[in-house]
Structure 1
Amino acid sequence: MLQGCDHSPASLYLDYQKRLANVSNGTFTPPSALTPLPLATKSKPEPQVTIGLLELSAINHCPLSTLIAEHNSQLGKVAAPSELFKYQLRFILQAPNCIASLQGKQQPLADKLEQALEAKKQHLLDYFNYMLYQEVEFRALFSLANQGFSRELAGKEAAIEALAFFNRVKSKIIADSIDNDDVNELTSQLAKLHRNTYVKTLLTEAQRQREFNLVTTATLATLPIESRLCVKQRPSDTAQFMHNVFQKFYIGQLQPLQADISGELQALLPLLYELYVQDAALSNQLNVESKLSLLTQLKMSAKSHVEWWQSFYQRCAIKPY
């Protein structure tokens, strides 16, 4: 009884397959287990310049001193990737004033802080990427979802806002124009991704619908059309029943659903692509212009499925509408 109340996309497709199997005597099976999109792991970047305790005591007059001390504490050593990235940002923003206060008085220390500042600027994108690959909220984007996609799925606006923010931060890193607002907003934007299932649900459903299309079309291609279903282009009762199933379940329900998923992907994937463009294995599946993208593959699987039915109608001399 509970299964009968399930209106998830997977349940709809299984019903479509079941109806086709009942009328055609074909063996339609669901796709094999899905695999998440290939998000690699990153090692934590190593600091290029270290500030010793004596040097730290010499800059007690600078807010930078407190920042470095907190970072060197036990809590700092186990900080999350996003907190490590925020430390680099704060160091870059606070260091210039501290360096200026040391000029001509403690020049060696001023030079060392300048070295540290330049090193952090040079490797800031590495720390940003470390966050993208290792922060729990970002890794969760590419995990497989248990729930199915629906038009009322919550979390879309928050996820889009957060991803757009991190894209702006990345652009500012490249342009060397990071400011305090970016640091202050980072935690709240990351929180929008915490337990937000929108992205992973959409990506999972797109993969699932693509695989359903592929395996169903492959089974349809094995059916004996000319020898049994439509002898001499005369449709049998079975062929007419198949036509009814296709129109009611695929055209009436699944095709609009897959069109909605494609539309959502069209808006989401460019944001993910800009963040992960440096990762060839992943970015190909996120780039909407690529033949390997999840969006293109979903559309191609749907096109192939419809093309089989168009061929079926021609060979059986059935008018589809």
Structure 2
Amino acid sequence: MSKFRYCLIILIPCILLSGCDSQQPEQMLETYSNRLANSLDIDSELNLSQPLQLPPYPRRRERIIPVTDLRQGLVEVLNLRHCQLLNLIAERNSSLGKVMQPSKRMVYEIRLYSGLRRCLKTLNSNDADINLIQQVQAIFVVKESEFEAALWNGIFTSEAIERNFSLSEPALPLEGDNGFSLSRQALNALNQVAKLTNTQDQWSEPDSLEQLEIHYQSLYNNRYGSRWLRSISLIRRTLEHSTAVIEQRLEQRPLCYQQQTTPKARIVINIFNKYYAGQLQPYMARIDREGKQWLELNRNLLHNFSSIPQPMQKYHNLILATDAPHWISYIQARDRHTRAWQTLLRQCNLMPGSS
């Protein structure tokens, strides 16, 4: 093998790896903050490799709400043939039905609840056997009282939802599809299901139950929420570090005297244009815009339920609420960083619109 060909084989993977690395949000953020520090003669290096300082999502046993698992005897099940529920209950009592995933269990509960409502209406209008009516009524009363809990468990004990609050996923990419669109569609679908808890007087079985598994799969595969949590945390830490750098320089000595732009100031404005305005701001704007929608969808999902386990309510207050510390600290870091840049640029007569 020629020396040239050998070098080419070595060089190509290095180029490809370099291209991949340049797309990592951590590298973009560290480059911006560290170049800013160097341009301002401040010895301070940003390292984003530390673990996320966020509360963990409550464990499954802290999220689940106990419900009654009705197991009808053979004679009772045969009686329910009048309700056309025999196949549905048989499926639930099968070996596979006993280990249903939360999402499939929720669909079963919705269909059973819908079938029992329909059956009672039919039996009462046809003057059916009173014992049969009482049997169906007794089952329906239990299912009605626990219907909200069944929906809660189907949504909030699923692995798909859990994965969207993991602390181990990477940050969202700088460009391209980040899974937000599919995740938004999935959360909208779950919100429609959750609204069934508030429409029992005019209740009807949703037409889209068959599509729910697709939405759960989208949430599981994209894990947008988990990746968004990391991204917003990385941005906040970058902004806080970079703001401290600017403020330290402003306290030490002016970058410009009497608003006279210096060669040093032009280096700083190049950092501003290339790395802050050119890279960080577009990424931050997308994370901000999509994150607001994602937070609102998750808040709406929780607000459909009147009974929320205490660990979940606490997590909501810390992460999802409009005044959650996690979100507020990001907003504060963003606004403080903007003010720091404005002060620095005014000092050098470099604010947009300045002569």
Change (3 A) 1:107 1:301: same
Partner of 2:43: 26
Q: Is the 8 A contact 1:8 1:149 kept in 2?
A: yes
Q: Is the 8 A contact 2:186 2:215 kept in 1?
A: yes
> Pick from 188, 210, 224: which aligns with 1:164?
188
Instruction: Report the 3-state secondary structure (helix = DSSP H, G, I; strand = E; otherwise coil) of the residue aligned with 1:139.
Output: helix
Equivalent residues in 2 for 1:309-320, closer than 5 Å: 309-314=341-346, 316-320=347-351
Change (3 A) 1:157 1:227: closer
> Pick from 313, 316, 319: which aligns with 1:280?
313
Point out where structure 1 has 5 or more consecutive residues left out of the alignment: none
> Pick from 192, 207, 210: which aligns with 1:184?
210
Task: Give the total of aligned pairs.
Answer: 318
> Pick from 273, 292, 298: which aligns with 1:266?
292
Partner of 1:15: 31
1:153 aligns with 2:177: yes
* Cα drift, residue 88 of structure 1: 1.0
TM-score computed with the length of structure 2 as normaliser: 0.76
CA distance in 2, matches of 1:107, 1:36: 57
Q: Is the 8 A contact 2:101 2:158 kept in 1?
A: yes
Partner of 2:22: 6
Q: Sequence identity of aligned pairs in percent?
A: 24
Q: Which whole-Å deviations, capped at 9, do the CAs of 1:143-194 have from their partners, x for residues lacking one?
A: 2432533342153332222211111111133112241514333233333334
After superposing on structure 2, the runs of 4+ consecutive aligned residues of structure 1 that deviate more than 6 Å are 231-236
Partner of 1:121: 144
Calculate the aligned-residue CA RMSD, in Å.
Answer: 3.2
* Cα drift, residue 292 of structure 1: 2.5
Change (3 A) 1:219 1:116: farther
Partner of 1:39: 57
CA distance in 2, matches of 1:141, 1:37: 14
CA distance in 2, matches of 1:120, 1:230: 73
Partner of 1:200: 226
Point out where structure 2 has 5 or more consecutive residues left out of the alignment: 1-13
* Cα drift, residue 268 of structure 1: 2.6
Deviates further, 227-236 or 149-158: 227-236
Partner of 1:245: 271
* Cα drift, residue 21 of structure 1: 3.4
CA distance in 2, matches of 1:17, 1:97: 63
> Pick from 138, 143, 148: which aligns with 2:161?
138
1:71 aligns with 2:92: yes
Q: Is the 8 A contact 1:235 1:317 kept in 2?
A: yes
Partner of 1:303: 335
CA distance in 2, matches of 1:228, 1:311: 11
CA distance in 1, matches of 2:325, 2:148: 25
Partner of 1:110: 133
Partner of 1:51: 72
CA distance in 1, matches of 2:160, 2:276: 35
> Pick from 182, 191, 198: which aligns with 1:174?
198
TM-score computed with the length of structure 1 as normaliser: 0.83
Change (3 A) 1:226 1:97: closer
Deviates further, 161-170 or 238-247: 238-247
1:68 corresponds to which letter in structure 2? I
